[in-house]
């Protein structure tokens, strides 16, 4: 019944992602998954996250520093990366559809998508830096 077990593990990972709005890394999600299924392996979590990303059920977020994060939100939005704690946050910046057109100075080019990551310090880390 290997297939059933794989399906159950994928379902668990998807459910944990839906409950989790903190953009976890694969390692963080593995720690959470282990609390629900003591037999789940790190490799299974990594493999399933990559498969879910390829199937567009969630999004992998490669970051300019630190490990990849994963996001269950599929609508276009921009992120903020804290360079100190490496946590990823959703911003409420409006998505710039205008950037997905013909880029200025590049006649004949077509932009298909873009992403924007703001890098800095989250409120908590910024507070810590002052003391």
Binding site for Zn ion (CB under 5 A): 71, 73, 82, 84-85, 90, 122, 125
6: number of Cβ within 10 Å: 13
Select 8 or 116, whichever has its Cβ closest to Zn ion. Answer: 116
The nearest distance, CB 122 to Zn ion, in angstroms, is: 3
The dihedrals phi and psi of 23, each to the nearest 5 degrees, come to 55, 60
Handedness of CA 8, 9, 15, 18 (dihedral sign): negative
Interior angle at CA 55, CA 54 and CA 59, nearest 5: 65
Q: Name which of 9 and 69 has its Cβ closer to Zn ion.
A: 69
Give the residue with the Cβ less far from Zn ion, 53 or 90.
90
> In whole angstroms, how close is the CB of 38 to Zn ion at the nearest point?
29
């Amino acid at each position: 019944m290997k297939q059933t077990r794989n399906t159950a593990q994928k379902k668990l990972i998807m459910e944990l992602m839906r409950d989790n709005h903190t953009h976890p890394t694969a390692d963080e999600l593995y720690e959470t998954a282990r609390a629900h299924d003591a037999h789940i392996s790190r490799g299974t979590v990594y493999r399933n996250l990559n498969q879910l990303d390829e199937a567009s059920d969630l999004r992998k977020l490669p970051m300019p520093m630190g490990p990849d994060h994963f996001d269950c939100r599929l609508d276009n939005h921009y992120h903020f990366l804290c360079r100190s704690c490496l946590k990823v946050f959703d911003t409420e910046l409006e998505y710039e559809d205008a950037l997905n057109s013909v880029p200025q100075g590049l006649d004949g080019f077509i932009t298909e998508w873009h992403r924007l990551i703001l890098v800095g310090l989250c409120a908590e880390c910024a507070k810590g830096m002052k003391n």
